[in-house]
Amino acid sequence: MKKKGFVNRTELFLMGIIVLYCALVTLINPAFFSFETLFDILRSSAVTTIMATGIVLVIISGGIDVSFTAVALFGAYVTTKIFTESPFPWMDNLGIAFLLSTVMGAVWGLLNAVIVHKLKLPAFIITLGTQNLIFGVMTTFIGSKTYGATAIPKAFSRFASSQLFQMTNETGKVGISSFIVPVVLVLAFTWFIMYKTKIGRSIFALGNSESASERIGINPFKVRLFVYSYMGALAGISGIVYVSQVKSMYPNALVGDELSVIAAAVIGGTKLSGGQGKLLGACLGVLIVHLLNNTLIYLGLSSSWNNFFVGALMIISVSVTAYQERIKNRKHFIFTE
């Protein structure tokens, strides 16, 4: 599908919200406006951004996935267990960790795609079932041991402490975490898939109309195999980043976080009925969610306000997207009930 522009109205709206919100917080508490705050937000949003990148593709294709946090947990937990119990020193390697977790995530994604397509059931129900299945497999057959900061693989600890560059200010040394590297690579590769490949065009086509996409030669099963396995692979990557970030691994990590990721994508203008979505919008949605998570304390508000603001922004964003769709349909003389 051809891009319609680098920035659309929804994204401009979100940029305006971000600028105004940051200005408000800075006026109330000048301590907010610092490189340290910026770098902390970038670091804390790495996992959500990677997951949101995958869920955008799934939703554009007309599907949904709520199992990706369980997939991320499974990949990260199994990889951590293998690394900590392996007698081979060469296994303590970050590249191998990403590879193992990514492959396990892709396999779970393939399972989602097969069940969703073959059974013709709502993807939400299928992936909700997969989510519980993954937790059951992990706790029943793999284990539920908690790995603390001293138990996680050294490769994860090194990754967590590494930075692309450092700078010194009045509070000490601050810098951009190396977590930004997988985020940038995932965003760049996903953008290439969306706009420069046949599978990317097929994803948009399937989300707009499955019957129409079949008439032009697109195989819906192959597209679903790709988007769900790709979502699983990105979940596997985000799982390793998460363990490195929190420097621990426990069996109920990430539970419930899938709603925040989907919310970020929807706030960014991704249409839940499929066929529409952009990575920039999703990234802006992630930024807003994490801005609220990290800055409400500067306004003297409790974290409970975060759900209120995120919910309000979701309603506004969906309303704006629906309004823009109606205007576009009227211009093309398309009328729906």
pLDDT for res 283: 95
DSSP secondary structure code for residue 326 in this structure:
H
Q: Minimal CA–CA distance to 262: which of 234, 239, 242, 282?
A: 282
pLDDT for res 328: 66
Architecture of domain 9-326: Orthogonal Bundle (1.10)
For 23, the 3-state DSSP assignment is helix
Contact 208, 60 (CB under 8 A): no
Structure tokens at 136: 């059951």
Q: How far is the C-alpha of 56 from the C-alpha of 274, rounded, in Å? A: 9
Q: How far is the C-alpha of 161 from the C-alpha of 247, rounded, in Å? A: 10
pLDDT for res 212: 92
Q: Minimal CA–CA distance to 239: which of 221, 223, 254?
A: 254
Structure tokens at 328: 């576009």
Give residue 251's region: left, alpha or beta (phi > 0; psi -120 to 50).
alpha
> 166 burial class (0-12, 13-18, 19+ CB within 10 angstroms)?
exposed
pTM, entire model = 0.90
**168 has which bridge partners?**
173
Q: How far is the C-alpha of 230 from the C-alpha of 203, rounded, in Å? A: 12
For 175, the 3-state DSSP assignment is strand
Q: Minimal CA–CA distance to 244: which of 137, 149, 104, 134?
A: 149
pLDDT per residue, tens digit, the chain (337 aa), is 444 557 887 888 889 989 998 898 888 888 787 888 888 888 999 999 999 999 999 999 999 999 999 999 999 999 999 988 877 776 788 999 999 999 999 999 999 999 999 988 899 999 999 999 998 888 888 877 888 888 888 899 899 888 888 777 666 677 888 999 999 999 999 999 999 999 999 999 999 999 999 999 999 999 999 999 999 999 999 999 999 998 888 877 787 789 889 989 998 889 888 888 999 999 999 999 888 887 777 777 776 777 777 778 778 777 776 776 677 666 655 544 4
- The residue type of 154 is K
Q: How far is the C-alpha of 183 from the C-alpha of 49, rounded, in Å? A: 7
Q: Minimal CA–CA distance to 31: which of 287, 290, 295?
A: 295
| Strand ranges for the chain from DSSP E | 163-169, 172-177
Structure tokens at 134: 């993954």
If you search the block for the tokens 């990706």, which residue do you land on? Answer: 68
Contact 235, 47 (CB under 8 A): no
Q: Minimal CA–CA distance to 252: which of 132, 163, 106?
A: 132
pLDDT for res 36: 84
Contact 180, 164 (CB under 8 A): yes
Q: Computed from CA positions of residues 74, 228, 136, 100, in that sequence, does the dihedral angle turn out positive or negative?
A: negative
pLDDT for res 273: 86
If you search the block for the tokens 């939703």, which residue do you land on? Answer: 59
For the chain, the structural domain boundaries read 9-326
Q: Minimal CA–CA distance to 98: which of 143, 131, 50, 48?
A: 50
pLDDT for res 109: 97
